[in-house]
Structure 1
């Protein structure tokens, strides 16, 4: 199984790569990012990993499309979170979160449509959204309304593109809540405590980075149980998947 991950240097992507390297059913991992992806020291099975540098997620030259050709799974993890909106103009936020997402879909379709390496079944395309988003563009978000409407519309556009090209693409959307990691010790301790007493999860859905990656990889390798996976779904799937691998949070 060949897996392509867009945004390979990101928080979620690096964990997807780490876990995927240890999975025998995944035979090739291509990480596409704006800078080289550095594997952790002691990473397993590095021979099946390739880091590919892209200068702009809107532009896919033939050299990049060659890396997309023959993919079984593609995962889009690129975004600008609402907490970083002040660092960018909204046009740039939309360009990264929406325009680039559609450009990547089109590049994957073009690289695999009517080619000798086209897979016998549609490519599983996983678009990583976030809890609270929906393809219903009439639903007005309570927080960051302009951003939220744009992300809602992005889901709609991704789904429409997938439906139009369903002979090549099988689109799925995952919607994690707040993602936490032990890279920040005190934040993770706080999240663990709040999760235990069910306060944090009652108001702000959250998931461990390792748990999210395990859930996504479980669905990628065993088949998606449904088109949209909420944070609750990802926690339900990711916990057992992580324990089965013998990995902790």
Structure 2
């Protein structure tokens, strides 16, 4: 019954990970900050794809076809550089409702619609740039807090936390061990194979600390947990396990950044 939670440790919470990095590693290379941002975005996109493929209900082909047709129409508009925003909004609403009826989580419609909106090097000519800046305050100060609070609603008590449960152990291992090992290992191997520098010419210690911050799951992880577990007790345990693992990941990453700064981590071989 706990196997459905396998996707919970996938996502990295962008806001919390970057916030902690800003506080704990003020001297970290800018390239490392950019790397963590890109990593968190790709993690969330991957999580959305997993939600669409593995956490959906029975598929309705006709609704899926309608949703894909709406997304395709949005891509055609983007291809011809159409900058009439209401057209994209209308197609996005059709795609969102169609994906919902098809049994695919509608967040995937939002991701696809975002990819269809035309961008340009000149911010004044870029519809995507203008839309991003128009939505940024709504996203940062309204949508994200509401999303976080709505999905994190759980009574925190010692009785809720069962440290011997497969749910707790799996989430803890996935976020606190799997994420830093996977991030550091993948980047290190790719840099060796392709003879590249670490992101931002960072040290191995800085990369390891960044990998630890990648274990902060929170919002998207809690969202996946709500889809994975219908039993309220299991869901509450999953939520408090995510919170515990995210706090530990943040503490480990902060401590590692502080230690490598104190003991001259900047001088080690890259």
TM (norm. structure 2) is 0.25
More helix by share: 2
Bigger RCO of structures 1 and 2 (CA < 8 A, at least 6 apart):
2
TM (norm. structure 1) is 0.27
Give the structure with higher Rg (CA). 2
